[in-house]
Amino acid sequence: MSDPTTGAASLDAILLWCGAVVTVAGAAGLLWRTTRSARRLAQRVEDFVDDWQGTADRPGVPGRAGVMTRLDQIEHKLAAVQHELHPNSGGSLRDAVDRVDQRTARHLDPP
Protein backbone atom coordinates (compact mmCIF):
# COMPACT_ATOMS: atom_id res chain seq x y z
CA MET A 1 0.00 0.00 0.00
CA SER A 2 1.26 3.45 -0.80
CA ASP A 3 1.62 6.32 1.65
CA PRO A 4 -1.35 8.79 1.30
CA THR A 5 0.87 11.81 1.92
CA THR A 6 2.62 13.96 -0.67
CA GLY A 7 5.94 13.87 1.11
CA ALA A 8 5.89 17.59 1.89
CA ALA A 9 4.57 18.25 5.37
CA SER A 10 3.43 21.81 4.66
CA LEU A 11 1.54 20.72 1.52
CA ASP A 12 -0.08 17.89 3.47
CA ALA A 13 -1.22 20.37 6.14
CA ILE A 14 -2.64 22.78 3.54
CA LEU A 15 -4.53 19.97 1.79
CA LEU A 16 -5.86 18.72 5.11
CA TRP A 17 -7.11 22.20 6.07
CA CYS A 18 -8.63 22.76 2.62
CA GLY A 19 -10.46 19.45 2.90
CA ALA A 20 -11.73 20.40 6.36
CA VAL A 21 -12.94 23.81 5.11
CA VAL A 22 -14.75 22.22 2.15
CA THR A 23 -16.35 19.63 4.43
CA VAL A 24 -17.53 22.24 6.94
CA ALA A 25 -18.82 24.54 4.18
CA GLY A 26 -20.65 21.65 2.53
CA ALA A 27 -22.23 20.62 5.83
CA ALA A 28 -23.26 24.23 6.52
CA GLY A 29 -24.80 24.53 3.06
CA LEU A 30 -26.65 21.25 3.48
CA LEU A 31 -27.93 22.33 6.90
CA TRP A 32 -29.00 25.72 5.49
CA ARG A 33 -30.89 24.05 2.66
CA THR A 34 -32.63 21.48 4.86
CA THR A 35 -33.76 24.10 7.40
CA ARG A 36 -35.06 26.49 4.73
CA SER A 37 -38.55 24.96 4.70
CA ALA A 38 -38.72 25.12 8.50
CA ARG A 39 -37.70 28.79 8.42
CA ARG A 40 -40.34 29.53 5.78
CA LEU A 41 -42.99 27.76 7.84
CA ALA A 42 -41.94 29.68 10.94
CA GLN A 43 -42.21 32.97 9.02
CA ARG A 44 -45.70 32.07 7.78
CA VAL A 45 -46.80 31.19 11.31
CA GLU A 46 -45.38 34.49 12.58
CA ASP A 47 -47.25 36.40 9.85
CA PHE A 48 -50.48 34.59 10.76
CA VAL A 49 -50.07 35.39 14.46
CA ASP A 50 -49.36 39.05 13.63
CA ASP A 51 -52.50 39.20 11.48
CA TRP A 52 -54.59 37.46 14.14
CA GLN A 53 -53.43 39.57 17.08
CA GLY A 54 -52.75 42.81 15.23
CA THR A 55 -49.65 44.94 15.38
CA ALA A 56 -48.84 48.12 17.26
CA ASP A 57 -47.81 51.39 15.62
CA ARG A 58 -44.17 51.63 14.65
CA PRO A 59 -42.27 54.66 13.38
CA GLY A 60 -43.53 55.24 9.84
CA VAL A 61 -45.89 52.24 9.86
CA PRO A 62 -49.45 52.43 11.15
CA GLY A 63 -50.68 49.65 13.42
CA ARG A 64 -53.21 47.02 12.37
CA ALA A 65 -56.13 45.79 14.39
CA GLY A 66 -56.39 42.07 15.07
CA VAL A 67 -58.86 39.75 13.39
CA MET A 68 -61.37 39.77 16.24
CA THR A 69 -61.41 43.58 16.39
CA ARG A 70 -61.90 43.80 12.62
CA LEU A 71 -64.69 41.21 12.74
CA ASP A 72 -66.41 43.23 15.46
CA GLN A 73 -66.19 46.36 13.28
CA ILE A 74 -67.61 44.45 10.31
CA GLU A 75 -70.50 43.14 12.42
CA HIS A 76 -71.34 46.68 13.58
CA LYS A 77 -71.30 47.97 10.00
CA LEU A 78 -73.47 45.07 8.87
CA ALA A 79 -75.94 45.72 11.68
CA ALA A 80 -76.19 49.37 10.58
CA VAL A 81 -76.88 48.31 6.99
CA GLN A 82 -79.49 45.76 8.08
CA HIS A 83 -81.14 48.43 10.23
CA GLU A 84 -81.57 50.59 7.12
CA LEU A 85 -83.01 47.74 5.04
CA HIS A 86 -86.01 46.97 7.26
CA PRO A 87 -88.98 49.22 8.07
CA ASN A 88 -88.63 50.84 11.50
CA SER A 89 -91.27 53.53 12.01
CA GLY A 90 -90.13 55.88 9.27
CA GLY A 91 -86.42 56.35 9.87
CA SER A 92 -84.84 53.72 7.65
CA LEU A 93 -83.89 53.78 4.01
CA ARG A 94 -86.54 51.13 3.40
CA ASP A 95 -89.22 53.44 4.85
CA ALA A 96 -88.04 56.26 2.58
CA VAL A 97 -88.21 54.02 -0.49
CA ASP A 98 -91.71 52.88 0.50
CA ARG A 99 -92.84 56.52 0.87
CA VAL A 100 -91.45 57.43 -2.56
CA ASP A 101 -93.14 54.37 -4.03
CA GLN A 102 -96.50 55.35 -2.51
CA ARG A 103 -96.23 58.94 -3.78
CA THR A 104 -95.25 57.78 -7.24
CA ALA A 105 -98.13 55.34 -7.32
CA ARG A 106 -100.57 58.14 -6.34
CA HIS A 107 -99.29 60.31 -9.19
CA LEU A 108 -99.38 57.56 -11.78
CA ASP A 109 -102.63 55.82 -10.84
CA PRO A 110 -105.80 57.72 -11.66
CA PRO A 111 -108.14 58.35 -8.69
3-61 pLDDT, tens digit per residue, is 777 778 889 899 999 999 999 999 999 999 999 989 999 999 999 998 899 988 889 88
Task: Give the residue among 4, 1, 31 at the shortest CA–CA distance from 16.
Answer: 4
> Which has more pLDDT, 88 or 72?
72
User: pLDDT tens digit string along 92-102?
Assistant: 888 888 888 88
Q: Are 53 and 66 in contact (CB under 8 A)?
A: yes
Asked if the model's pLDDT at residue 1 lies above 60, the reply is no
Contact residues for 87 (Cβ-Cβ < 8 A; gap 6+) = 94, 95, 98
List, in order, residues 6 or more apart from 15 with CB less than 8 Å away: 6
CA 107/CA 105 separation, integer angstroms: 5
